[in-house]
Amino acid sequence: MQKKSFFMVPYLAWIALFVVAPMALILYQSLFDITGHFTFSNYTSYLESTTYLKMTFNSIWYAFLITFFTLLISYPTAYLLNRLKNKRLWLLLIILPTWINLLLKTYAFIGLFSQNGSVNDFLRFVGAGSHQILFTDFSFIFVASYIEIPFMILPIFNSLDEINPSLINASRDLGASAWQTFKRVIVPLTMPGVKSGFQAVFIPSLSLFMITRLIGGNRVITLGTAIEEHFLVTQNWGMGSTIGVILIIAMFVVMFLTRERKSKGGQSR
């Protein structure tokens, strides 16, 4: 027991230094105004400002859209990968883009979507003309979804991989069609993976700011860009920290709503 407690020390120290302490500092900083005086006015300003409430709605809406399109692509992809012969190799190829720096991928899409980029070159070639793709909601959601897809595919793939084949065979033996088996057996058993993927995509999407600036331009305004603005431009760290606290609360709410629920017998529903 003492040996187990000893190995817990580095883990607890890591959590205290890099999770608890930063959140405590953000909470502490949110209680001071731009002049350094203790106040609750930051929270009052946030709740009373239609601008901040609109930013909050935009952040939730864009995060939902990114998560929805990511799930729409990831579930069929994970299902198909799980049925392939060399599924681990194909999964690795999908995960490989996550090894590339996020900023590099973002700048690559700027080149693709710009007026003289490859996408507009192709559109002009087929006679569709040039279009403003960069700095639009479409480009922002497309790029964000592309970057987040591996984080949705991986947990769903693992859930599919852990399904006991005998359960599917039993469903078929009992007369269920392929669609009924998918709907009543496979989907419920993969819900833990879907929930994990939802957390892995929705929570980071709430606070996007770099992709928002570089791809969405001034058309896409979220809480992430507001935090960047307060810390780097207006130097109002108190207000920026307040928005950070709101995002942390939103993170815990999402984690609570997508948590694993267990019945009294200890079985997952």
Q: Report whether 63 contacts 74 (CB < 8 A).
A: no
User: Residue 38: helix, strand or coil by DSSP?
Assistant: strand
Burial class (CB in 10 A: 0-12, 13-18, 19+), 29: middle
Length of the chain (residues): 269
Chain Cα centroid distance, residue 54: 20
Rounded CA gap, 75 and 59, in Å?
Answer: 24
Q: Report whether 205 contacts 63 (CB < 8 A).
A: yes
pLDDT in tens, the chain (269 residues): 566 777 788 888 999 999 999 999 999 999 999 988 999 999 999 999 999 999 999 999 999 999 999 999 999 999 999 988 889 899 999 989 889 888 899 999 999 999 889 999 999 999 888 889 999 999 999 999 999 999 999 999 999 999 999 999 999 888 889 899 999 999 999 999 999 999 999 999 998 888 988 998 877 888 988 998 999 898 999 999 999 999 999 999 999 988 877 654 444 44
Rounded CA gap, 134 and 136, in Å?
Answer: 6
Rounded CA gap, 50 and 55, in Å?
Answer: 8
Identify the CA nearest to 143 among candidates 73, 215, 222.
215
Rounded CA gap, 160 and 55, in Å?
Answer: 37
Rounded CA gap, 46 and 43, in Å?
Answer: 5
Instruction: Give residue limits of the domains in the chain.
Output: 60-225
User: Which CATH architecture group holds 60-225?
Assistant: Orthogonal Bundle (1.10)
